[in-house]
Structure 1
Amino acid sequence: MSVQQADPLEDVLALVGTTSRLSVRLVAGGEWALSFEPPPAVKFNAVRRGHCLLTVEGVPEPFELAEGDCFLLTRSRAFTLASGPGVRPVPAGPIFAAADGDVARVGADEDVVLIGGRFDFGERAKELLLDVLPPVIHVPGHTAEAATVRWALEQIDAELRARPLASTLVTGHLALVMLIHLLRLHLAGAGAEAASGWMAGLADPVVAPALRAMHARPAHAWTVAELAGVAAVSRSTLAARFKHVVGQGPLEYLTAWRMELAADRLRHGDDTVAMIAREVGYGSESALSSAFKRVTGASPREFRRRDLRLRHGGREPASPRESRRRTGPAGDGRP
């Protein structure tokens, strides 16, 4: 059965609104160790020269980072970077606060150079993306598969050194390229075993075709039998495999994804609930409202009003008619 298929990873990254920000470079030498507070966002670092040791709160074994290696810290956990074991760490905050231009230094030598930054996501990132990843993703840089990551890091490094026009914009986009390749490598390697939910499903040869089909056509009235045909397995095989790998049945997953799409449109658009219902596969506004309230605990209209209040600091936003009355037809403040 030939069915159009989509990319769930791309869909989720687009839905959670991924952005990136680069931090100053870290240059270190001799014996050194820096302790970092739990970061407010997903942290990444890459070793451009030398090697060091990464220790993360709650993770039993440290990670030995060699030149070219990268890591993603997907949870808000304290961590330490050090020249080796047994070195007493000092807080990283004052070191970075005293950075000279774009470089923070610890020690007198330049044995180790790291570049890093953070990825910021929208409010649904934790449930949709971060919770299905392990706390730390370590990607060795020496492998052939990591060639694109190495290229992105080299370009980021060059931009940070030379600071040409629009370098901040360029490095931000390059960091997103690196993030996507890190996630690809994670899924393609042994790290896929540590994934859960839909991300684990992407690495499963039976589940992945059904996932991609649902993401390609979320409004289609899928049945388990039809999805099983896409995956070229029996209905019972798909249902059992999907439940085991993803943690919920295929139609449960479809409903949850439709609700995510509906919630995103309610937050960021002005379409009516009836229009959104048709877009995500419900024949009427009441059918979507019933499913939406069952999943989120609020009706679509209540959800939209609550989201608007949060964006306006808890105040009820003015209606378009009220706004026109306050500002005048030209929007210049005249009555």
Structure 2
Amino acid sequence: MNVQDPLEDVLALVGTSSSLSTGLIAGGAWALDFDPPPAVKFNAVRRGHCLLIVDGVVYPLATGDCFLLTRSQRFVLASGPDVPPAPAGPVFAAAGPDGFARTGTGDDVFLLGGRFDFGARARELLLDALPPVLHVPASSPAAAALSWSLTQIEAELRDRPVASGLVAEHLALVMLIHMLRLHLAEAPGAGPGWLGGLADPVVAPALRALHADPARAWTVADLAAVAAVSRSTLAARFKQAVGQGPLDYLTGWRIELAAARLRRGDGTVAAIARAVGYGSESALSTAFKRVTGQSPREYRRPA
């Protein structure tokens, strides 16, 4: 059986893409108030130090630190806690020909940022499993890999070789994966969901097996054998980590795969049913309607 990574599966299913925004150079006393971003926002401090303020919580940021905002909420970047913030929009709209926005006096702070865009199912499948702010300090184990990615992004944006934008965007996705890995390593059991399952050494092998062959007629005994534990142990640990039993999770994942194929117009309903593990179109239709409230044909039909 091939080993499959659920994180890769989910990132592919939700259509993850990245884009880089204007860099920020700042100095002296400064503060910028950002409107709630329409997508997942990231920033990295390449030089200097500043504060990130989100919902009244202050995060000190130093050179090498990165952060990810997984919710659409207002935030402030500032040199200190008592500086009145100015709207960030006009500052970035006035960015110079070098592609950098500037605020305050001097250039002792440099931030590189961008955003990650996801498909319609990302909130439920991925983002709700993450904290509102994912802060990666320079001292963390993931910092070295992030620093390498950021250095390469900076070089692409500075030197502008052929296809630099595409390369930089792919490097940003590498950053995202490293940040998610860090979250899994440092926050096991942070909440029920498949991310919590990946952090559990008993549940993770069973999750990978389900993702490697979702069309297989899995039993709890099969999955327990993969995880090298008893059926009762696997069932209890899976429910605790993921929030549902292994076969309920399998049903939900099959429906996600079927829904993605329906959105793409990828084959007949009968062919999709066979591909995701249902013996007939009617079996898929029954499960699909139970989970989504619509039949596959209703789901596929344009509004």
Distance in 1 of aligned mates of 2:15 and 2:139: 30
Equivalent in 197, 200, 203 of residue 199 of structure 2? 203
Equivalent in 81, 88, 94 of residue 90 of structure 2? 94
Partner of 2:15: 17
Give secondary structure in 2 for the equivalent of 1:71. strand
Partner of 1:125: 122
Amino acid at match of 2:27: G
1:87 shift after superposition: 1.4
1:182 is the counterpart of 2:179: yes
Larger Rg: 1
1:226 shift after superposition: 1.2
Equivalent in 3, 24, 27 of residue 26 of structure 1? 24
For each residue in 1:107-139, what CA deviation from the matched residue of structure 2 results, as whole angstroms up to 9, or x when unmatched? 120010000000001111111110111111111
- Residues 154 and 94 of structure 1: CA distance in aligned 2, closer, same or farther (over 3 Å): same
Distance in 2 of aligned mates of 1:175 and 1:280: 31
Question: Which residues of structure 2 form unaligned runs of 5+?
Answer: none
Amino acid at match of 1:156: I
**Conservation of the 8 A alpha-carbon contact between 2:40 and 2:72:** yes
**Conservation of the 8 A alpha-carbon contact between 1:256 and 1:295:** yes
TM-score under structure 1 normalisation? 0.88
Amino acid at match of 1:41: A
- Residues 251 and 131 of structure 1: CA distance in aligned 2, closer, same or farther (over 3 Å): same
Equivalent in 188, 195, 214 of residue 192 of structure 1? 188
Distance in 1 of aligned mates of 2:60 and 2:218: 46
**Conservation of the 8 A alpha-carbon contact between 2:220 and 2:246:** yes
1:154 shift after superposition: 0.2
**Conservation of the 8 A alpha-carbon contact between 1:133 and 1:196:** no
Give secondary structure in 2 for the equivalent of 1:134. coil
Moved more, 36-45 or 155-164: 155-164
1:195 shift after superposition: 4.6
Partner of 1:116: 113
Amino acid at match of 1:213: A
Percentage of identical aligned residues: 72
Distance in 2 of aligned mates of 1:144 and 1:89: 33
Question: Which residues of structure 1 form unaligned runs of 5+?
Answer: 310-335
1:269 is the counterpart of 2:248: no
**Conservation of the 8 A alpha-carbon contact between 2:30 and 2:103:** yes
Partner of 2:100: 103
Partner of 1:217: 213
1:193 shift after superposition: 4.1
Give secondary structure in 2 for the equivalent of 1:194. coil
1:230 is the counterpart of 2:226: yes
Partner of 2:156: 159
Partner of 1:284: 280
Distance in 2 of aligned mates of 1:141 and 1:19: 25
For the aligned residues, what is the CA RMSD? Answer: 1.2
**Conservation of the 8 A alpha-carbon contact between 2:188 and 2:200:** no
Distance in 1 of aligned mates of 2:265 and 2:94: 43
**Conservation of the 8 A alpha-carbon contact between 1:22 and 1:118:** yes
Count of aligned residue pairs for this structure pair: 302
Equivalent in 53, 58, 71 of residue 75 of structure 1? 71
Amino acid at match of 2:104: G
Distance in 1 of aligned mates of 2:33 and 2:192: 29
- Residues 195 and 181 of structure 1: CA distance in aligned 2, closer, same or farther (over 3 Å): farther
Partner of 1:56: 54
Give secondary structure in 1 for the equivalent of 2:111. strand
Amino acid at match of 2:101: A
Amino acid at match of 1:146: A
- Residues 144 and 211 of structure 1: CA distance in aligned 2, closer, same or farther (over 3 Å): closer
Partner of 2:42: 44
Amino acid at match of 2:214: P
1:194 shift after superposition: 3.0
Moved more, 115-124 or 224-233: 224-233
Amino acid at match of 2:242: V
1:144 shift after superposition: 4.6
Distance in 2 of aligned mates of 1:285 and 1:17: 26
1:184 shift after superposition: 1.0
Give secondary structure in 1 for the equivalent of 2:238. helix
**Conservation of the 8 A alpha-carbon contact between 2:142 and 2:178:** no
- Residues 304 and 264 of structure 1: CA distance in aligned 2, closer, same or farther (over 3 Å): same
Equivalent in 235, 238, 241 of residue 242 of structure 1? 238
